[in-house]
Structure 1
Amino acid sequence: MHLKILPLDSKAAEYYSSHKTFHAGDSGLDLFVVKEQTIQPGETAFIKLGIKAAAFDGKDGTGLSWLLMARSSISKTPLRLSNSIGLIDQGYRGEIIAAVDNIKNEAYTVKEGDRLVQAVGFDGKGITMELVEKLDETTRGEGGFGSTDQKPSKTVEKQNLESLKRPSGGIPNDPPIKRSKVVGEVASAARESVGA
């Protein structure tokens, strides 16, 4: 996997241009905390990592989705990734953010330069990286953390409408997505099984 990284400020650019813990063939690329942040006991916090990124197949340039995983050293802290593993969709172009839970009874401060999470490809093969000044635009754009069911921006709506005007009707042979609402006895049983 080849990861193009767009630093959002000079501090992030400094960390990634002199990445001292990245070695050829590594399956994970450590990502840096760029701003100190204190996380209270029991709090879920969103740690902005100061970069945007896009992943591509190193051989053919196809866009790839990738994973945001905890580094093993996070076990030395009271923090855990809220969603266990973060999925960064191929088209996401917003800032990379780690959602963490403080599972202890005291506040914990993450410091600038800490490395809590890492970027990992689905295949676990080595990662290459480069710093860039711009990323390609996608219809997904910057929507993250629960944005799937939210109304898209006017720009995204326009891009989607334009893709439907193509002779192929957008993506060929792609079946429409149908969402169903669970009701009745099945819904009641599901609520009881999760204690809702």
Structure 2
Amino acid sequence: MKLRIKPFNDKAKALYENHSHFHSGDAGLDLFVIDDQVIPGNSTQPIHLQIACENLDNKAYYLFPRSSISKTPIRLANSIGLIDGGYRGELVGMVDNIYSEDYHVKNGERYFQLVAVDSSPIEFELVEELSDSSRGEGGFGSTGK
């Protein structure tokens, strides 16, 4: 899968400039936390990943939790994120903190990954702008209840 990634700021751009898969054959492309954030205990909160993407094939792809997220008290609230091919808005990981204590996420940490529907490796380039689509930035239930 070929992806364009639009970082929203220099902090995000710096993390993705020299980023790639860690091992040959990896299906998931890890995503970074950009800003330090506290996830209050027993709450659901968004982690804004401060990037938007465009799949050049205009096909859907997934936002999955990384397996290492199981070592933390946070869980991806919707289990799997389906990102429609025309979506151009910010990628956001909505997480549940299942513990009563606050949990801190920090710049550079990786809790989520993008995965192609066919699990093929993701190639990407950083860009300043993405193309327009009929869907645009509408996400998280934007088409109805």
Normalising by the residue count of structure 1, what TM-score does the alignment of the two structures yield? Answer: 0.71
Contact 2:21 2:28 in 1 (8 A): no
1:104 aligns with 2:78: no
**Identical columns (%):** 52
Is 1:25–1:126's contact at 8 Å kept on the other side of the alignment?
yes
**Residue 90 (structure 1) aligned to one of 85, 91, 109:** 85
- Return the alpha-carbon distance in structure 2 between the equivalents of residues 115 and 148 of structure 1: 29
Q: CA deviation at 1:127?
A: 1.2
Match status 1:11 vs 2:11: yes
Contact 2:20 2:29 in 1 (8 A): no
1:34, distance to aligned residue in structure 2 (A): 0.3
From the CA coordinates, give the structure whose radius of gyration is larger. Answer: 1
Q: Distance in 1 between the 2:82 and 2:20 partners?
A: 25
Where relative contact order (Cα < 8 A, 6+ residues apart) is larger, the structure is: 2
Give yes or no for the alignment of 1:45 onto 2:45. yes
2:134 aligns with one of 139, 142, 153: 139
Aligned amino acid, residue 9 of structure 1:
N
State how many pairs are aligned: 145
Answer 1 or 2: which has greater helix percent. Answer: 1
Q: In the aligned structure 2, how far is the partner of 1:92 from the partner of 1:20?
A: 22
TM-score (norm 2): 0.95
Amino acid at match of 2:8: L
Deviation digits for residues 77-99 of structure 1 (CA, Å, limit 9, x no counterpart): 10000000001111110000000
TM-superposed CA distance for 1:132, in Å, is 1.0
Unmatched tracts of structure 2, length 5 or more: none
Report the equivalent of 1:124.
119
Is the 1:12–1:50 Cα contact (8 Å) retained in structure 2?
A: yes
What displacement does 1:73 show?
0.7
Change over 3 Å in CA distance of 1:79–1:92 after alignment to 2: same
Q: 1:77 corresponds to which residue?
A: 72
CA distance in 2, matches of 1:116, 1:14: 18
Distance in 2 (CA, whole Å) between partners of 1:22 and 1:78 is 25
SS at match of 1:12: helix
Contact 1:81 1:101 in 2 (8 A): yes
Do 1:44 and 1:101's aligned partners in 2 also have CA atoms closer than 8 Å?
Answer: yes
CA RMSD between the two structures = 1.4
Change (3 A) 1:129 1:25: farther
